[in-house]
Amino acid sequence: MKDKRANDDPQRKKAKNGSGVTRRRFIAAVGASAGAAATLRPTLGTSAPGELLEGASMKRITLHINGTPRELLVDCRWTLLRVLRLQLGLSAAKAGCERGECGSCTVLIDSKARYACLTLAVEAEGHEITTLEGLMDGERLSDLQRAFVEEDAFQCGYCTPGQIVAAEALLITTREPSREEIRQGMSGNLCRCGSYEHINRAVARCARERNTHEGASS
């Protein structure tokens, strides 16, 4: 025997007559809304390196990077980090938080540690920029990099380039840093793996070795 309740249900009659919301119509409406939202969603950050953006303000600049002048056409809104990585292929400076908190993008600007993610490329014109690649001698590691290796001052390694550049900035101004000076000098760089003690030892080791070498050569 057929269940007469189905035929007596007013909601079912409503759907049958074309009024109300059926399951099929609801799914179709949701699908259409999602498609419209995907079409309207802004595509920030997806433009190719060097691409001329509509309404963008482009400027031709010369950046002195690792001792070499590089002439570039950049958008005035692009960060130095973007230009280094996407236009010049200098990938040592890492994109981490991109808001000046983690330090993975640290570079030297006029021998001082700076966050490349908070520095516009146009602001860096006329200054000497040094990335981790510039601290190396070709494929040979710098003494500071070797100290990081010997003291096992990294785990995942993502923050290591920024840590090394920040340490270089410290050693430029402080030849014999105390433990507290090292902690303060490296405080702008975060290590999610927690290798701080090893990092501090690597910086102290490099400082000792540089002072020993300078003393022997004088």
For the chain, domain boundaries? 58-217
* % of the chain exceeding 70 in pLDDT: 74
- Cα–Cα distance measured from residue 218 to residue 210, given in angstroms and rounded to the nearest whole number: 12
Exposed/middle/buried for 196, CB within 10 Å: 0-12, 13-18, 19+? middle
160 bridge partner residues:
none
Contacts of residue 145, defined as CB under 8 A and 6 or more positions apart, other chains included, come to 135, 136, 164
Contact 104, 113 (CB under 8 A): no
pTM of the model: 0.73
Phi, psi torsion values for 69, nearest 5 degrees: -75, 135
> Would you call 88 helix, strand, or coil by DSSP?
coil
pLDDT tens track for 76-102? 999 999 999 999 999 999 999 999 999
Q: What is the pLDDT of residue 216?
A: 76
Q: What is the pLDDT of residue 204?
A: 98
Token pair, residue 34, equals 């999602």
Kindly provide the residue ranges of all beta strands, DSSP E only, lying in 51-124, ordered along the sequence: 58-65, 68-75, 106-109, 112-115
Q: What is the pLDDT of residue 213?
A: 85
Q: What is the pLDDT of residue 9?
A: 52
* Domain 58-217 CATH superfamily: Beta-grasp domain (3.10.20.30)
- Residue 1 — very low, low, confident or very high, per pLDDT cuts 50/70/90? very low
